[in-house]
Structure 1
Amino acid sequence: MKSNRLRTAVLVFGIALFMTNNTFGQSEKRDDRKEPPTFKELLKKMDANDDGKLSKEEIEGPLKDHFEKVDADKDGFITEEELKKAPKPKRR
């Protein structure tokens, strides 16, 4: 009788441990996804002259390749409104 209780306890503990590890592993994958930076974060990183907008010379990375598409009014700067309305990059 004692051995049945012990086996049952070990089995229940093993299943609970397996389920906890499995669930924990899945939630970590979701945290790896990066959200695109906000306009304020981009300004903090790239706005060299602190004018509140980004010129093509200040921008680096993939945004520079798509500058003309994002700069809707073609004034040579990207504003927060233009960035919000810009086409979203395709996910891999």
Structure 2
Amino acid sequence: METGDDRSGLRCLVTGATGYIGGRLVPELLEAGHQVRCLARTPKKLRDLPWAKQVEVAQGDVTDPESLGAAMRDTDVAYYLVHALGTGTGFEETDR
């Protein structure tokens, strides 16, 4: 991962980084010295966040196995902070 820093620590994937919890978790991970990759369907939603230049952004969707697998490659830990409540009925199955 290229973030411009010589950081050690864990390589972390965060899904849901634009949400309430994810948006607070990412700066904490960075402050602790971890490398962070954020998976986003719409990467431009991350660009104005104060920590945006300190993370790697992977475009993809948690419901797409190929993009999720690519985003998880070479990571030590993944934080799954998304939900499908807004997708209508059957969201429980989508979340599973």
Same-fold call, TM cutoff 0.5 = no
Larger RCO: Structure 1 or Structure 2 (Cα < 8 Å, ≥ 6 residues apart)? 2
TM-score range (shorter-chain normalised) is under 0.3
TM, length-normalised to structure 2: 0.19
Greater helix share, 1 or 2?
1
The structure with more strand, counted as a fraction of residues: 2
Asked which structure has the greater CA Rg, the reply is 1
TM-score where L is the length of structure 1: 0.20
